[in-house]
A = this chain, B = another copy of it.
Amino acid sequence: MTLALELCYDGSAYHGWQIQKNAVTVQETLSKAIQRATGAWPGPELSGCGRTDAGVSAASYIASFRTETPIPPDRFPWAIHGFLPPDISVRRAQQVPNGFHARFSCIKKEYVYTLYHSFLPHPFERNRAAFRPYPFNVDLMRSAAADLVGTHDFSAFCASGSAVRSPVRTVFHCNVTGDCDRVEIRICADGFLYNMVRIIAGTLVSVSEGKLPPDAVKKLLLSGDRTEAGITLPPCGLRLEQVWYGDEPGLDGINSNVRLFF
């Protein structure tokens, strides 16, 4: 059968999702835990809903793999719990149609970038929000964020050197909430370019701080010039909030209409 897992992880100790040769990643850690929980050898071929960067967290990450384990899916979170470190947790498991692929079947994702303002970085915010020394102008950020909604060429918001087929993505919403001391940028799209959310957050902060004009986003979408956008903010402020395979987010959205890959 194919099993899909809903994970939550604090990514601050990991070099992202994807297995790497010389660094500990979430995929590798989860794969080893599945091996030990199911007794499978070699470990499962594990697909994840996206390649979160080093230091990025996930509130609801979906991974999938084929398994012959007799552990009932609803008991799987308890079965694997003891083999996982405390910063990774399987919250749910569900059998899904064969051919389901956590990455390719995904139709949209939502990320949240959290920022706080203080005179010096605060220990309680470490690894969960990005520090800024200036207060936020939420109105300016909200207005610039609205300009991102729609189908655009997001080249200006993509780290240089990344090789993607097309820089065109559709942003369904980009909402800014909070106040001058704390801001959440919530952005949902059918896909994201490399570092896209962190560059968008950096650009909105530049608009907030007056380093870029209020219409900067509009111009950037036309120019496609990465050098004119804001900086790439640190990964600690970013978390993958939820992913969709159907109408509902997460595992609940995986129904008979889900895109399958064989």
CA distance A78 to B119 in the complex (A): 9
Say yes or no: is A193 at the interface (Cβ < 8 Å to chain B).
no
In this complex, the member of A81, A121, A124 whose beta carbon has the largest number of chain B beta carbons within 10 angstroms is A124
CA distance A86 to B119 in the complex (A): 14
Which chain B residues lie closer than 8 Å to A59 at the CB level?
A: 124
B77 touches A91 (CB 8 A): no
Contact of A120 among B9, B81, B119 (CB under 8 A): B81
B89 touches A122 (CB 8 A): yes
- The complex is assembled from copies of this chain, and their number is 2
Contact of A87 among B10, B126, B128 (CB under 8 A): B126
Number of interface residues, chain A, beta carbon within 8 A:
21
CA distance A126 to B123 in the complex (A): 14
* Interface hits, A1-58 → B, CB 8 Å: 8-10, 57
Which chain B residues lie closer than 8 Å to A57 at the CB level?
A: 123-124
* Interface hits, A96-122 → B, CB 8 Å: 119-122
CA distance A91 to B125 in the complex (A): 14
Which chain B residues lie closer than 8 Å to A78 at the CB level?
A: 120
Contact of A10 among B10, B120, B124 (CB under 8 A): B124
Which chain B residues lie closer than 8 Å to A10 at the CB level?
A: 123-124, 126
A123 touches B88 (CB 8 A): yes
Which chain B residues lie closer than 8 Å to A120 at the CB level?
A: 77-78, 81, 89, 91
Which residue on chain B has the smallest CB distance to residue A87?
B123
CA distance A92 to B59 in the complex (A): 34
5 A-B residue pairings within 8 Å (CB atoms): A8-B123, A10-B126, A77-B119, A86-B126, A88-B123
> 4 extra interchain contacts, Cβ-Cβ under 8 A, other than A10-B124, A57-B123, A124-B128?
A78-B120, A86-B126, A87-B126, A89-B121
